[in-house]
Amino acid sequence: MQITPIGKYMYLVCFFDLPTTTKRDRKRYTIFRRRLLQAGFVMMQYSVYIAQIRGTHQVKDRIEKVKNFAPDNGEIRLLTITDRQFDNIENIISYEYSKSDSSIERSTQLIMEF
């Protein structure tokens, strides 16, 4: 999914660590993740989701929305950054696979650009 900027944007980054030890915890995690997606967030990496937002009033609204559906256990952090700060992200992504998989020694992940 590529978002085409029309003007100045801000980004809301959601970092979260939610328990998944019990069936109830996993259900809460799944519901939270689904609601993040419905709120316009996309997965940047595991437990890190990002939403592109136009204007500070929309940032406040989105933060309130996440607070309303956040589970009562776990940790959730929301960070607001500007489009210029987001453009300065350095991505270093590589994966090593086990020696049993001789067909793939190293792979890179596709980076989603906003």
Query: Within a domain: residue 112?
Result: no
Q: 61: domain CATH number?
A: 3.30.70.240
Q: What is the pLDDT of residues 4-60, one digit of tens each?
A: 444 578 999 999 999 999 999 999 999 999 999 999 999 999 999 999 998 888 999
Q: What is the pLDDT of residues 34-50, one digit of tens each?
A: 999 999 999 999 999 99
Query: Within a domain: residue 114?
Result: no
Distances (CA, A) of 23 to 1, 19, 30, 31, 36: 31, 10, 11, 12, 20
Percent of the chain with pLDDT over 70: 78
Angle between helices 56-69 and 23-38 (to 10 degrees): 160
Query: Within a domain: residue 81?
Result: yes
Query: Within a domain: residue 113?
Result: no
User: Tell me, what's the pLDDT at 50?
Assistant: 96
Domain residue limits at 55: 10-107
Q: How many domains does the chain have?
A: 1
Query: Within a domain: residue 67?
Result: yes
Q: Which phi-psi region, left, alpha or beta, contains residue 29 (left: φ > 0; alpha: ψ -120 to 50)?
A: alpha
Query: Within a domain: residue 44?
Result: yes
Q: What is the pLDDT of residues 69-100, one digit of tens each?
A: 999 999 999 999 998 898 888 888 887 755 55
Query: Within a domain: residue 80?
Result: yes
CA separation for the pair 34, 103 (Å, rounded): 34
Q: Which residue type sits at 99?
A: K
